[in-house]
Amino acid sequence: MSSSKQNERRDDEDPLRAKVRAIADRGGARSVAVAYHDYETETGWSYRGDEWFHAASTIKVPVLLGVFRAVEDKRLTLLARVHVRNLFRSAVDDGSTFRVAANRDANSVVPRNIGKTMRVQELAHHMITTSSNLATNLLIDAVGVDAITDTLRKLKLDKGVEFRRGVEDDAAHAADINNRCTADGMLEVLRTIEERKAFSEESSAQMLDILHQQEFRSGIPGRLPDGVKVANKTGEISTVAHDAGIVYVPEREPYALVVLTEWEAGGRTGGRSDTIARISRAVYDHLTGGNG
């Protein structure tokens, strides 16, 4: 069922929709979109899944696809060394440059290597697991914005994901050049990795391994039972907080889940991850018959 038709259903006809709305309202979210695909039943569901949000750091998963496409095309190797620097050309076509502010990068390892080199596989690890903005921009430069965009287009992911620039490019942000996604679109990115159809088995396994090492676990994994494993990528800036992941439940097939949320500027940030975690638990209960 398409997201538009799904959204037309009344809450009493769709209990999960009602629960998601209630959780979002209690948390104070201005807007929420949710999408899942369940491999156990081969069914999907979305709530406002075609609405666009600033992608924040969830865009790093499409960048990861671009990196591994370059590896498979032999334009890059995971062992290739990249010179670590902190100066990048803005997506605004005026010759301007930008840097990643030290206090806006969740990772300390990559900045400590400025002036040295790091392997592509190390940068990919830090881009996802600790959400390093510096690692992300270095990989974008190594692969190329156009090449990443072309990867998304060839994989037919560009209808729900717009990749246009590196992260922390404030001049581009001011010019409304931003990375955006829909819940439905980011769900297809996750499915591309999990279903191992667009990439080799080896590349797919390596991408999943990186996602499984994610250090930020307060969103989708936050309220799930012990024993449930999640390969995920979070994303948060001033007005949005997201999580996108593949949930592996013992003794059943996994499901892919995306939760995108938008909040009032200047509002509290403490409950955002918990709102995502509660929505995640509602989806888990819906799919597994849990009573959380």
Give pTM, 2 decimals: 0.94
- Provide DSSP, 146-159: HHHHHHHHHTT-TT
CA distance 265 to 22: 21
Residues 6+ apart with CB under 8 A from 271: 27, 28
Residues 6+ apart with CB under 8 A from 167: 57, 59, 100, 133, 136, 137, 179
Which tokens hold the place of 190?
Answer: 């996750």
Helix, strand, coil percentages (3-state) for the chain, rounded to 5, are 40, 20, 40
**Local confidence pLDDT in tens for the 292 residues of the chain:** 344 444 445 556 899 999 999 999 999 999 999 999 999 999 999 999 999 999 999 999 999 999 999 999 999 999 999 999 999 999 998 889 999 998 778 788 999 999 999 999 999 999 999 999 999 999 999 999 999 999 999 999 999 999 999 999 999 999 999 999 999 999 999 999 999 989 999 999 999 999 999 999 999 999 999 999 999 999 999 899 999 999 999 999 999 999 999 999 877 767 999 999 999 999 999 999 975 5
CA distance 258 to 58: 10
